[in-house]
Amino acid sequence: MVLASYPSLADRAVVISGGASGIGEALVRSFAGQGARVGFVDIARDAGEALAAELTASGLTARFIACDVTDIAAYQDAIGTFAMAHGDATVLVNNAAHDQRHDWAEVTPDYWDKAMAVNLKHFFFAAQAVAPGMIRAGSGSIINFGSISWMVMTPSLPLYETAKAAVHGLTRSMARELGQSNIRVNSLVPGAVITQRQLDLWLTPDSLADIAAQQALPGQLLPQDCASLALFLAADDSRMVSGQHFLVDGGWANT
């Protein structure tokens, strides 16, 4: 399969959260492969350092900082460190999240706050950190990762789904707030992406068969399918696209 090349992404400074594995790893590899200067964070230090070292050894630009995105001060500091190394980011990909299953009857206020912190809160504060640089540059693209889970009513994820539904509202509001500065804000909404984590924790032969039955298209969704759309939304090719949400789900959800 031959994938698109986007000349406008060459040398562009990009920040990606949750970039050490799964969809995030595909994002880091794809943006770096376009010639972008990628800075990414993750709590998985070993995997993040290994990925950055591999890409750097290949002549690509990728810098990793181990960071918990729920520590807003540390995350914004990491974004500042990337800016000193790569220049102000003109692409932000808010990807990091945690789809931990939970029973609604057992949710405590503390668990609620932690779920919102890892699945929603850092999206806003990362945007707040990069927006001044985008304003100075005269353009930018912010890509917020959602999920079809709330659209198809996946069980045992009420807080995750609440946060992911809120991503759509955040995207719409920030598209208006930042639009006059030529900053675009969009949501990328994955379906059942087959990652190693999903295979290890949730996916079974029965659930894989159910996913196949729900999708309009045959085949499995892979992390690269999300990364390919993210490249388009970051590139100048989508310069008049903002405030929208784009499903990459094989034709499953009905919105």
Q: What is the pLDDT along the chain (255 residues), one digit of tens a residue?
A: 778 999 999 999 999 999 999 999 999 999 999 999 999 999 999 999 999 999 999 999 999 999 999 999 999 999 999 999 999 999 999 999 999 999 999 999 999 999 999 999 999 999 999 999 999 999 999 999 999 999 999 999 999 999 999 999 999 999 999 999 999 999 999 999 998 888 787 678 888 999 999 999 999 999 999 999 999 999 999 999 999 999 999 999 986
- The domain spanning residue 127 has which CATH number? 3.40.50.720
Determine, yes or no, domain membership for 199: no
Q: Please tell me the distance from the alpha carbon of residue 58 to that of residue 77, in angstroms, as a whole number.
A: 27
CA 169 to chain centre: 16
The residue behind tokens 């001060």 is 73
57 DSSP 8-state letter: H
pLDDT of residue 205: 87
Q: Kindly name the residue from 6, 75, 111, 160 that is annotated as catalytic.
A: 160
Question: What is the rounded end-to-end Cα distance, in angstroms, of the chain?
Answer: 29
Question: Residue 159's domain spans which residues?
Answer: 7-193+223-247
The residue behind tokens 């990459």 is 248
Determine, yes or no, domain membership for 238: yes
Number of domains present in the structure of the chain: 1
Determine, yes or no, domain membership for 155: yes
Determine, yes or no, domain membership for 207: no
CB neighbours of residue 157 within 10 Å: 20
Active site residue 160: yes
Determine, yes or no, domain membership for 204: no
Contact between residue 230 and residue 28 where contact means Cβ atoms under 8 Å apart: no
Classify residue 201 as exposed, middle or buried by CB count within 10 Å of its CB (0-12, 13-18, 19+): exposed
Give the tokens for residue 14.
Answer: 């990009």
Q: Where are the strands (E) in the chain, listed by range?
A: 13-17, 37-42, 61-66, 91-94, 140-145, 183-190, 245-248
Distances (CA, A) of 99 to 133, 212, 252: 31, 21, 19
Give the tokens for residue 53.
Answer: 């070292």
